[in-house]
Structures are given as C-alpha cells and as structure tokens.
Amino acid sequence: MPLKRSWVDSANTPEGPFPLNNLPYGVFTAGDDDEARCGVAIGEMILDMTAVEAEGLSPLDDDEVFAWGTWDLLIDAGPADWATLRGWLEAALAEGSDLADALAPLLVPMADATLHMPFTVTEYTDFYAGKHHATNVGTMFRGAENALPPNWLSIPIGYNGRASSVVVSGTPVRRPWGQVKGPDEALPRFAPSARFDIELEMGAIVGRGSEGPVSVAEADGMIFGYVLLNDWSARDIQAWEYQPLGPFQAKATATSISPWIVTRPALEPFRTSTPERERDLLPYLREPGPMLYDIDLAVDLIPEGGTATTIARTNYREMYYSSAQQLAHHASSGCPMRPGDLLGSGTISGPDRDSRGSLLELSWGGKEPVTLEGGATRSFLQDGDTVILRGHAQGDGYRIGFGTCEGIILPAIDKPAWA
C-alpha cells in the first residue's frame, strides 16, 4: 500500500509520522483555551474532532462522542463506530475531498498544541514477553542456568501494574524513594532509587471487554490501538521487593505513553508473525495469523544541557508473544477485561548489545556503562536526563509514526521528616 495523499499538504511526505494512512487519535489543548479536545493527527496539523462534532459533521449517530476531551466514548462505542469514523476520516481528509473547505478551518497546527492523556486507563497490566529481555534480566538476577523461568516458554508472563501511574509523554518523572538493600548490607534502607531505569515497550489498548475466556483471534479484535510505553523501573527497589510476589513499588512511580493512539487498522499492513515456538504452545494461545507488527523502535537519552544519544534500536517483531496472545491469556481465568485496559508488551530487546530496551541490560547491571555523545556515561538515569522513545512502521513511501514518548527525571523529594 503506497502513501495515500491528503489535501493537508504536510501529510504527503515520505518520512512524516502522520500521513493519511495513519490518522491516530489524541487529546489536545491549544492557545488560551484550556478545554481538552479530541484530535486526529494529519501531517503537521490536528483535526479538531470536538469542533467537527459541534458543527454537526461527525459521521457517528451519537453527537456527544468527542465533547468530553477523551477518546473513551469512541472506544466504548465499539468496532462498528470505530470503522465508521476511520472510513469517514480517510475520505474527508483525502485529496479531492468535498469536505476540505469545511474542515480546513478546524485544523490546528500541532506546534501550537499541548497533548494530554488520550484515554482513561481502566487497569494496567505489564508483561514480560521479550525473550532477549527475559534472558538478559534472568541471567543477571538468577544466573545463566536459571535465566528463563520454567514457565516462560508456555505462558506470556504478566503482572498487574498501577493504572494511576500512567502519564502522557512530556510529564516529568520524579525519582522515587523506596526500600533498597545492597548485596553487602545486612538490612534495608529507605533511600532515593540509585538505579532508576527505563523499559522500552509497546502498549496495547483494549477496546472491547470480555467476561470469560476468549480466543487469540477474538482478543486481536478487542484491541483498539497501540502506543509507545516507557515502564520506568527502580531496579534497586525491584531487586529487594520482587520475591515472592513480583514487582510493586519498583514500577509504581510512573509509566509514560506516547500521546497518539495508532489504531489497529493503520498497522494492518505491518503484521508479522511471532518467532517459531521453541516449545509448542497450548491451543488457547496459538495464533491463527500474524499478530505482531514490524515497528522500528529507538531510545534517545539527553543529559541535562546535552545532546541526544540513541542508546538502543530494536523492533517490536522481536517479541515472543503478541498483545493478542497476552490478552487471551489475561482473560483465560474469566478475569473481566474492560475498555481502556492497557497492556504493556514487556521490554523489547533485540539480540544485540545496542538493541536492548533497558539500561539494566545496556549497562549489564551497571558493569558496562553506556557512553553518550560528548563522553558522559550512564549505568542508570541521572537527574535531569530526558529519555525519548521513538517508533514507526516503515511503509512503501510512507511511515506510520507514534509521536515520541518523553520524560525528564526530576530529583527525588527531600527526605520527609517521618522517614
């Protein structure tokens, strides 16, 4: 599929993130107006869907879907409305559209907009579904012989995270306090995390709920779209707390997502298969078709006052389990799934040293610090560091971009009097 041309000129470039083929959904404010509005990215512009609806141009039967500055109502409305809206947008923004004159005044320059959380996170689940990542981390935490847990090749291992911690790209992230204990210390201390890290992930947004087990094919159809996701992780807190019941406060400070929801239809041309199984999956986890996506990913790190270094490049196709498989497993116990549930893919690491999706892996637990442009080194994040995740699917003469997923590290708060 080639680039689809739009009457919005800036959308017709081969390297731009938001051509007509993409049409991702976000929430923005612009100018002096602090009312959050629904918007669709097209080139360097945002189509103000709240205004489109207010002018009676929305193709949906319900005329208050975009009035509240969130995509929650469209997500709740279900696949028929998802398809109706996308079909309308593709036609309305295409070169030669009759609606160009009516819609042109409803475009807002992206450069003038501030982006906000595009949907309400109902619940957040994070997975551990990248084999390179699991092998790397397992080797560091448990030794090479026990790197991959016995269940790993059978279960897309996941744990429930904290929905309240999910923030939109651009939100500063404050270094957490927590209980830590070094290997040579007899007792733990309460201290700011000294091993604060990133995890490069994709996030899948559940669009339809379930009340019982679902097949992988059904699960795929329940996914509304995808974002980039950074699961900020305090490794020193994690190492001391995670046995026996898993990560808790190590992952609770913040989880950042990119501001544009890239819908499943936009990614359709980039479907790719999970790798060959090393152990047969149980039937309830088998995929009827390709359910990963070929999405190039990169991580930039910018020290305070410095320049960006790309510290990792990888691809979403490196994952061992797809989001559809994860969702099918999530629902397998009868766990009710709901619109707005966010599923983190797990850290996406490739096989090479510079394709690892966390500083823990890049610096091999701090033993091999990463060298940045200008000569500074990093084992873990320092205050003032900015981390930027980038991602896009490369089409034939066009790209499906996600926008960036950014955050700057603020210093820990002063020690509270009672601590």
| Residues of this chain that bind a copy of itself (CB under 8 A) | 122-123, 128, 138, 141-142, 149, 151, 154-155, 157-165, 174, 176-179, 181, 187-190, 212-213, 215-217, 234, 237, 240-250, 252-254, 279, 282-284, 329-330, 332-338, 413, 416, 418-419
In whole angstroms, give the CA distance from residue 142 to residue 145: 8
- Residue 132 known to be catalytic: no
CA distances (Å), 240 to each of 20, 26, 79, 182, 367, in order?
Answer: 48, 38, 44, 8, 19
Q: How far is the CB of 229 from a copy of itself (least distance, A)?
A: 16
Q: How far is the CB of 193 from a copy of itself (least distance, A)?
A: 8
109 vs 288, beta carbon nearer a copy of itself = 288
68 vs 248, beta carbon nearer a copy of itself = 248
216 vs 267, beta carbon nearer a copy of itself = 216
> At a CB cut-off of 8 Å and minimum separation 6, what does 293 contact?
226, 267, 270, 271, 272, 316, 317, 393
Q: How do beta strands 342-344 and 124-127 pair? A: parallel
Contact 209, 393 (CB under 8 A): no
Contact 20, 395 (CB under 8 A): no
Q: How far is the CB of 245 from a copy of itself (least distance, A)?
A: 4
277 vs 373, beta carbon nearer a copy of itself = 277
Helix (H) or strand (E) holding 103: helix 100-103
| DSSP assignment string, 299-351 | EEEE-TTS--EEEEEEEGGG-SS-HHHHHHHHTTT-PPB-TT-EEE------S
Long-range CB contacts for residues 237-243, cutoff 8 Å, separation at least 24: 237/176, 237/178, 237/179, 237/180, 237/193, 239/141, 239/180, 240/179, 240/180, 240/181, 240/188, 241/178, 241/179
Question: Where do we find the tokens 């009676």?
Answer: 56
Looking from the CA of 259 toward its CB, the CA atoms found within 13 Å total 26
30 vs 250, beta carbon nearer a copy of itself = 250
Q: How far is the CB of 286 from a copy of itself (least distance, A)?
A: 8
176 vs 403, beta carbon nearer a copy of itself = 176
Q: How far is the CB of 210 from a copy of itself (least distance, A)?
A: 10
256 vs 404, beta carbon nearer a copy of itself = 256
Contact 166, 255 (CB under 8 A): yes
Reference 229, options 255, 261, 253, 206; nearest CA is 255
Q: Which runs of E-coded beta strand occur in 143-210?
A: 158-160, 166-168, 173-174, 177-180, 189-192, 196-197, 200-206
The rounded radius of gyration (Å) of the Cα atoms in the chain is 21
Q: How far is the CB of 37 from a copy of itself (least distance, A)?
A: 25
Q: How far is the CB of 212 from a copy of itself (least distance, A)?
A: 6
Q: How far is the CB of 380 from a copy of itself (least distance, A)?
A: 16
Sign, Cα dihedral of 302, 306, 310, 311: negative
Reference 408, options 238, 237, 169, 114; nearest CA is 169
166 vs 387, beta carbon nearer a copy of itself = 166
In whole angstroms, give the CA distance from residue 343 to residue 328: 12
Tell me which of 132, 133, 329, 392 is the catalytic residue: 133
Active site residues: 133
